[in-house]
Structure 1
Amino acid sequence: MNFASLPDRRAALDPDGAAVSDGRQALTNVQLLRRVQAATRHLQDLGIGPGDVVALKLTNRVEFVLLLFAAWRLGATITPVNPSMTDVEVARQLEDSGARLLVGEDSEAPAPDGIAVLAVGELREGAVEQDQVPPTDPSALALLIYTSGTTGVPKGVMLDHANIAAMADMGRRALEVGPADRCLLILPLFHVNGIVVSTLMPLLAGASVTIADRFNPETFFDVVERERPTFFSAVPTIYSMLAALPDQVRPDTSSLRFAVCGAAPASADLLTRFETRYGVPLIEGYGLSEGTCASTINPVAGPRRAGTVGLPFPGQEIRILDAEGSEVPPGVDGEVVVRGPNVMRGYLGRPDETAKVLVDGWLHTGDVGRLDADGYLTLVGRSKDMIIRGGENIYPKEIEDVLVSDPSVLEAAVIGVPDEKWGEVVVAYVQPRPGRTVDSTALIDLCARSLTGYKRPTSYVVVDAIAKNAVGKIDKVSLRASHAAASASS
């Protein structure tokens, strides 16, 4: 599938059919095509062409979708930027990706030298001559999705057009999505799920997309009743908030065929409580940005198994390997590895790190799981130290690097601790340099300048020495255990 020409195909098949909308505007298929053509000409006039990278630092809005298609029509690549990131984090992503243009909200500050800035409110809308969409090379880079890593430095996940086409088609088939469907997008468009599974997949299937405003549990079901979506995707934190609404909240959810739960582990109890209360089947899945979002999903029509993350998507393979790299039988724990046309090309500019996770065509996830006799995957662990807060992946090394930049800090160890609302929150343990005193207020200010809000520790614990294991490495297993014991006794 050439996604650059998808607006043309939709406009030809159903000119007046609904395509994409947000709280400000609603576009039919032919209107979508005309707006994409105008945006394409605008980018072209700004000098964007094949191989260039366009950064989108935008909230969820129709223009994000327009710019996706516009960039692809020119052979360019999109890198989404989280609007809540600090200037330091944004500059790092722009430099690493080699972005030539940053499209931001109308109040966007100037970009680093050499990068042009376009305010989204200035994006052209007028009619232009019909453009010719060149065939897209399936191996051309479509998306650069930045994800944190164990090194603490975010890496650019390279997804080509073949990757996104495969994932969108897999999702369409697995979730049985067709022209009658309407997806409600509530996850951020800077995530690969928001782009591929919640936007491109339904548009490929002939369905429409409604982009919701920022999630608010008190108004969410008002949106559902007004827009009448047939499905949406969210993280466990969102379902937990909705399940905790007052008993008198009894919305009309009859339009919803199902909802997808992913990005973090969800308890079987949460799935059951949500489904029982609202009458909406909750379909749990699993995946990574490196796999273009999703690798397993519980069936929509077939048997769903609570506590598992389901079966492989059509066209993907899952294996479980032991420490020596040999495949283990059903019921035995090991590392989850994935193979399929959805697996990334690699990490931008990081061949060594790419070689560690892509081995003979298999993506080594670092997650621990087991398959049952029917092929359903159960996750029993995850990448060693990763913290998942409200569906956001956080790697402690990035935070620890910020903390030790304070001259009073000798060492830092960051762990995730259980939290009823977010699943996990970040706690930092810091050891002072000899003769120095750690100022927690200074650390709070330092993290506020350097880290996105969800990555910032909720508390700082100053200790004389941070626990080490037998080989002298920080022992986070014992640190988490001692923190849990201290919390239980307080």
Structure 2
Amino acid sequence: MNLDFASVWEMISDIVPENDALICGDEIISWKDYDLQSSKIATALKNAGLGPNSKAGLYLNNSNEYLIGQNAIFKIGGVPINVNYRYVAEELIYLLDNSDSEAVFYHACYSSRIKEISGSLPNIKAWIEIADGTKSEFEDSLKFEELLDSCDPMERIHRDPNTIYMLYTGGTTGMPKGVMYKQGEFLVFLFRTLKAMGYDVPEDINNLEEQIHNFKKDNTFIKSLIGCPLMHGTGMWLGAFLPLLLGGTAVTSRNLGFDPDQMWTQVEDTGTTNIVIVGDAFAKPMLDALDRAEESGKPYDLSSVKVIISSGVMWSEEIKNGLLRHHDMMLMDTMGSTEGGMGSSVSTRDNPPKTAKFSINPGVIIIADDGEILKPGSEKIGLIGTSGLVPVGYYKDEKKSAETFREVNGVRYSFPGDYAKLEEDGTITLLGRGSNCINSAGEKIYPEEVEEAIKRNDEVFDCLVVGVDDEKFGQKVVAVVSLENNKDINEDSLVDATRSYIAGYKLPKKVIFVEQVERAPNGKANYKWAKNIANESFK
């Protein structure tokens, strides 16, 4: 499909200029202003020396400015780089250097961190600060609001649909990796996702323009409330891209913590049609809030909600049933990763949900370790491979690209590392990552990275990190640690000492001290042993 993000959004802004494009709290941006502000910031990026294929980081909380900044990068033919706002200095420097970022958008609350890392990133041409009510601690920045006042809007240009779109995700060693797509191919993937929700897949820009006019005539635009961070694929792809590509509205909140009551109130205030979350970590408190409101005699008005979409972590059957008890809607549970989509599960009151069971997407195979492509009903488990939209590769990592994106019988597939069974009825039962990746509230946490951070403490001799099932977060991080002879440190002190090396969400929720960490004779970690130790500690 000969499309790119910025050109689609320019077309939409011409059709529905006065419609709401972005809502964050009480801040509402029309499609006309979304395009205008993005064009002005695009001029600022050009003035700073950025151009086609330039990378720019988005070190931002959920906000209208996040989506405006991203669109500005798309407008110049550049590549937005998602930055995890939980990262510490060392992680930020790695990501911004690895991605070859030339500019960084950041909220003022992170200005002290920017001040700390700026000297280590000489290739950054522009630090663009967005006010958020906190005092700035970094002087060498451009102010977002001042740029809107001083810059003329950039003229519209022709853009290459083969321009890379990239999303950073955790790598198997724990270091982030940029997953690269061609924009035109990625847009096809997004529109096919909309097909599962009952929307037609546009064949070209003219067909899409016709659809937008029909939505305008019928007033059937999507209004999507994004409960999870825009910095991750679920929030951006399902929460922001899908509604905006159809001329709808992306709704966010500046609250860093998830407040289910605030979210349901926002649903009522905005007339939200879609809600995007990450599994039980969001859905369970959402259900609890609905139950409390109902018991108090003041139930929330859910009449506008048509669908709740989740991806990234388990969404259990009992929680889905609880939500459906409050409102008849579609619950869409998608299985996939940054590297590719694998399957989906759609539940309604008439189609009861089942945990971790998904309808397989076209072009998906499950291949056993011996190379056999599994057929429905096979007793074997296998690695899920997805064709169709396969990433170009990992940015600057040819070795990992060759391992993950490879051909089977002449067809190119992506193998992100998820194992599953192919049931008799053709559905997939997801078994989890073949690696030891820990999934906590949708965040990927790689044991090796946490282990290395813990082992930087002088008191630690060896360490293994595993995930233990957790009702709220899906999994929680547990460290099994042995200490150096004649050294001593308690659990709280060890966690605090590790805090400067990795983001807080990666820190262990529990540390178990043992005499010796078990490893195989060749030095390989015995994660099965560590998992047993961790599970026993919670009995």
> Does the alignment reach a TM-score above 0.5?
yes
The answer to whether structure 1 residue 148 and structure 2 residue 170 are counterparts is yes
120-129 or 233-242, which deviates more: 120-129
Residue 276 of structure 2 corresponds to 233
Structure 1 residues 390, 25: CA separation in 2 closer, same or farther (over 3 Å shift)? same
Distance verdict in 2 for CA 1:208–1:113, change over 3 Å? closer
Q: Which residue of 2 aligns with 1:216?
A: 259
Q: Which residue of 1 aligns with 2:208?
A: none
Q: Distance in 1 between matches of 2:50 and 2:320?
A: 45
* Residue aligning to 1:263: 312
Query: Which residue, 105, 108, 133 being the options, matches 2:107?
Result: 105
369-378 or 261-270: bigger deviation: 369-378
User: Is the CA contact (8 Å cut-off) linking 1:23 and 1:213 kept in structure 2?
Assistant: yes
CA distance change for structure 1 residues 133 and 297 in 2, over 3 Å: closer, same or farther? farther
Q: Determine if contact 2:385/2:415 at 8 Å carries over to the other structure.
A: yes
Distance 2:23 2:262 in 1: 18
Seen in structure 2, the aligned counterparts of structure 1 residues 400 and 163 have a Cα distance that, compared at 3 Å, is farther
3-state secondary structure, aligned to 1:100: strand
TM-score (norm. length: structure 1): 0.92
CA displacement at 1:270 relative to structure 2: 2.0
Which amino acid in the other structure matches residue 229 of structure 1?
T
The change in CA–CA distance for 1:202 and 1:312 in structure 2 (over 3 A counts) is farther
For residue 216 of structure 1, report the CA deviation from its aligned partner. Answer: 0.3
SS of residue in 2 equivalent to 1:66: helix
**How many positions carry a matched residue from both structures?**
482
Q: Distance in 2 between matches of 1:211 and 1:234?
A: 12
Task: Give the AA of the match of 1:190.
Answer: M
Aligned amino acid, residue 497 of structure 2: L
Q: Does 1:139 align with 2:166?
A: no
Q: Which residue of 2 aligns with 1:23?
A: 25
CA contact (8 A) 1:22 1:213 kept: yes
Following the alignment from structure 2 to structure 1, what is the Cα–Cα distance between the partners of residues 82 and 58?
5
Letter in 2 for 1:117: W
SS state at 2:512 partner:
strand
Q: Which runs of 5+ in 2 are unaligned?
A: 132-142, 200-214
Distance 2:359 2:81 in 1: 30
What is residue 69 of structure 2 aligned with on the other side?
67
Select 1:468's aligned residue among 519, 522, 527.
519
> Which of 218, 240, 251 pairs up with 1:199?
240
Please state how far the C-alpha of 1:91 moved relative to its aligned partner. Answer: 1.0
Q: Which residue of 2 aligns with 1:379?
A: 430
1:180 to 214, 217, 221: 221
Greater shift in the superposed pair: 302-311 or 50-59? 302-311
Indicate yes or no: 2:397 matched with 1:350: yes
Q: Indicate the larger mover: 264-273 or 447-456.
A: 264-273
Relative to structure 1, the CA distance from residue 227 to residue 309 in structure 2 (aligned partners, 3 Å threshold; closer, same or farther) is farther
1:169 is aligned to 2:179: no
CA contact (8 A) 1:385 1:415 kept: yes
| Mapped partners of 1:383, 1:232: distance in 2 | 30
Q: Distance in 1 between matches of 2:230 and 2:537?
A: 39
Question: Could you tell me which of 355, 363, 370 is aligned with 1:307?
Answer: 355
Q: Structure 1: where are the runs of 5+ without partners?
A: none
Q: Deviations over 1:17-71 (max 9, x none)?
A: 2211212521222121111111111111111111211001011111111111211
Once the two structures are aligned, what percentage of the paired residues are identical?
A: 22
Cα RMSD for the two superposed structures: 2.2
CA contact (8 A) 1:286 1:309 kept: no
Structure 1 position 438, deviation (Å): 4.0
Q: Deviations over 1:67-104 (max 9, x none)?
A: 11211111211101112211111111111111111111
Check if 1:433 corresponds to 2:484.
yes
1:308 Cα deviation from its structure 2 partner: 4.2
Structure 1 counterpart of 2:322, from 273, 279, 282: 273
Determine whether 1:57 maps to 2:59. yes
> Please, what TM-score do these two structures have when normalized by structure 2?
0.84
The 2-side partners of 1:312 and 1:233 are apart by 21
Aligned partners of 1:167 and 1:196 also within 8 Å: no
CA shift in 2, pair 1:24/1:336, >3 Å:
same
Cα distance in 2 for residues equivalent to 1:160 and 1:420:
38
Contact 2:377 2:423 in 1 (8 A): yes
State how far apart, in whole Å, the 2-side matches of 1:113 and 1:4 are.
Answer: 28
Distance 2:446 2:121 in 1: 29
